Structure 1
């Protein structure tokens, strides 16, 4: 399969192609990094095109749009807060091996200086060649969150929204910040949300104690996403629906979901899907440095974390501290526990995030003219190969 990494024209055939609304058995033709044609069985390229094409046998597996992870902190022993290229390479390489073709480098609640360093490192990384998964930008998770719901965020650095910081960051690094998570009940949050929405930045609620009315008011100002739904937010009560109640009922808000069986019970996942449908749920990993690593001691945002049986928790307080999840792991969990089709799950793993980020014309689904951001799996949805803009960035070792 490796020839496709250097060929300007290649064809993956004998594969089940997961489109936006159906599965088609056939082949996909890629030219110069973009999908040229999607061909169902019985349709073939003409002789002239076949003469120069490199053929890749999909072996009857599935070809999906590459996964887009809007909320990921790290993996393979590295954290985006390290603010250095070698860590970014480790993270993007690891997650590419699990089908992710694009992501947002997600920060932690930290000092402004530490966040500045990550933003500069991300800008530098994007300016150079990105050899693995693409970095679409940065997701600032905090520091404008609630002290009542810090989760694994460091409470020492929590502050009210600072609009001047946002203006400074976007002036210095235009287009780099793609999402910001805050607590809408904090002083200055609504002004920040309206400003973010006006800049095309996803404004998300998370680590929040907001009541129902505060979330609805935030949605009126442009709030459009909920971070790791159910986790680190005011829950549902029948007399005060809280943050969760507003997220479940408000169609303007997409709900992120960590589908690892540790953060959200399968029944709660089904409740979220019943309330919002597969068009408004976005699968994320919230993965930390321990993803892909053995159990043991790690750190997240400067706080000590213990990973046992693949579950990450703070040493002090025992709060869940991100995850060890991969996107393909989330896809398989959803297949096993929801009864949804791979078409619907693919939408939650790729298409919905692409729409939120405003890049659905380029990626997030398989179609002529789109970037060849693709992941090939076997029949059991184990990743066999990943391509970013038609370039092979991962291929499973055959043993």
Structure 2
């Protein structure tokens, strides 16, 4: 009798374990994004998804190490004056670097798995890298014009919501395709896309699943699907996978220290997610920012066309100006897959969910990189505090130069 009870208990335990493992498998992508697991996930994406390398080559562009004492720096937020250390604790910073006049004046890695050689998942900051590549392809003539229709490069999108918009519509997030980018809604277009990336259906099917929502060029609607399609346009126009074009035209020309990589979809055909799976070190991302701060030039090399950098600082389109994007984007305008800050400096930034920043102020000659592991994809309070802190930091560096 006792033996039977033990066997029954053991069987029940195995069944429970099996149920638990099945639940973990179904919810693996959700769990990977939660704290504290996400600190590991965001620094180990090569163990989560298939990848394709963006290889470095040639001499490293040295960032002169000229530490500046920032212990006395304070920023104000919600009536309190706080330090950088408090910013890092309150906004779950994992990596942080500041360039001023091309020199590395501050660097810190508060994250548990972070280090100078660690490559960080940059999420939608990837979009700004895709923009740089589109600008290069246009300058080379691989892409004819920003007015070209998407389907002239991607005929597989004929009859979809992307049959009509031009490349520029996608660059400004005004394609008119799809719904709101809501990470809490399982059926939102971005989650259909991410589901396909994790192996549930194909990426093409996810992109084709969205409906037209507005006339192209008239309505700002932030959408990772727009950038996914831009990546496909780039691949079709150049005849190269995204990672190889990024290797040859960008990473090999900025003096990167380390290889970067794109995460690829688990579903086949494998496809790079040009709007969300670029991974790079903090210092190499700072070099990307330095290129943009210097009008697309690094040393003697014009990496990105100067006119393309100017576009990325703002296009003077009323519906894309700071304050015109809606209450969810109070601090920002948008142009060319970059978030614009307006004002006299016309600074701009790449952003990614969970707190990824590439802040570029060409007038102050300041670049700030901040990688983070926020508990949720979007966080209004942490976003507002980071905005206040980085704005104050740029002003502080100017005042104390």
Give the number of the structure whose residues are more often helix, by fraction: 2
Larger strand percent = 1
Larger gyration radius, structure 1 or structure 2: 2
